[in-house]
Structure 1
Amino acid sequence: MTRTVYLNGEYLPETEAKVSIFDRGFLMADGVYEVTSVLGGKLIDFEGHAKRLERSLNELDMKKPAAFDDLLEIHRELVRVNEIEDGLIYLQITRGSPGDRDFVFPDPETTEPTLVLFTQNKPGLADNPAAKKGMKIISIEDVRWGRRDIKTVQLLYPSMGKMMAKKAGADDAWLVEDGHVTEGTSNNAYIVKNGKIITRALSNDILHGITRAAVLRCAKEAQMEVEERNFTIAEAQEADEAFVTSASAFVMPVVEIDGAQLGDGVPGPVANRLREIYLEESLKKAI
């Protein structure tokens, strides 16, 4: 079935949606994005994603598209017309196509942003078999730009990191800067030692994950101890367990880091419990 997508105010068949070759998202990676999960036909953490999207636009001095206040209804319409029960909605806003290629930003009063949304159908998204097996992680140097807190479309190095992991027979990579783990290629990173959850504190160095915020809130409500601080790969390898969080993977256990097995080599109780709590709470609040 041909998907219906949204482009600048229109719902179109995906085969008919077209963006200018002069769009700054294409030429300069001058754009931001969000991915919202759909479970049971409802949106997970939509409000958090919308707030972070607005923050990203403000940080880049990027104009909001005319339909910004209608994003919830656009998401719901795409879920409806594409008959999405479980899956994802990808949203991207770029600075638009002012004309010829130029490093200088166009005048926002004369250039409209480009707004694109499309769905991805993923049946059984919450029942990912990987959550029962756990992920294997490698570490790589973090050489990304310094504003990782802005969710931009500059995803080449994260893509390269995932390919490095695949080549090494692993599932993903954790990025390391100045001897400490920043985050995963597309997720936030955590370790667990003696029942305590440890994850890097928020700053410009990492993405302010929407799932991260929800999972830490769930952890504290469940009387789990949380410490936000830097940690090393060596410390992670000595941890009892580890996991990552993201909008599409939710809470995903990690069982191996750079060849070192964590604990018994199976998903640990803290990660398993947090995944259970997060999914339960998220479904209650889904819209």
Structure 2
Amino acid sequence: MISVVIPMYNSKDTIFDSIDSIINQSRYDLIREIIVVDDGSTDGSSQFVSEHYAENKKIKVIRKKNGGVSSARNAGIQSALSEWIAFLDSDDIWLDEKIRVQWEAVTAHPEIMFIGSNRNKENIHWGRKYDDKRKIYSIDLTHLLIKNWPSPSSVLIKKELLSITGLYDESMHYAEEGDLWNRIAILNELYYIADIYIITGAQKISFGESGLSANLKKMYQGNIRNIKLLKERNKISFKFYIFLRIFYGIKQIRRIVIIKWITKFRKKK
């Protein structure tokens, strides 16, 4: 069975669609509970969820002081009763077959403890083919550091794995999933299905437009922090660390240029 963890902060306008996308899953029977963690919202999000879904016994709302998305996800993980945990951000939605397809994948491959999927209009086939029939790919730490993947809202993860790696670092407010994914990849390969099963941020591009990823500088600093930690723990070589510093710098410049171009284009329209 699966516990779904949704961190929520002032999400009254989007949380309805997120929760409904869980309820509308073709294998909703696999969902044991939906844990909505209100991270100190001030827009009445908790009351909205409690009232709108009053008859749904699977939905549980946890209220806490604002501490950021990492602390909200951790609160949900610690409260979860199931063997498996799925994440969903409060402005993202799952497509109807998401849980069914992932459940079939982990049932067919019991060694898989972490599995995500593609999102939006992206067509990513990165890593090593693992199960061609189910379009499953595996990612090791090197793959992950080149392409931080997959998106948290796509992930189904065994709670047992998190008990080994530790939870989200609550001191991090940017690139926090990268830090956790890195720790997981050190011990266990990550997997994803190369089909689209989630829509994130209303199909905006994955950086620079909304949410925490809008702060490109902070995201860059978070990614640099992550690889510094790996170097200090001797999980990557000094040469690879230098390569990543250069690579991330080029990516940062590219992202800034793209956002400036998009902003300029929209102003003209």
Does the pair score TM above 0.5?
A: no
Name the larger-Rg structure.
1
More helix by share: 2
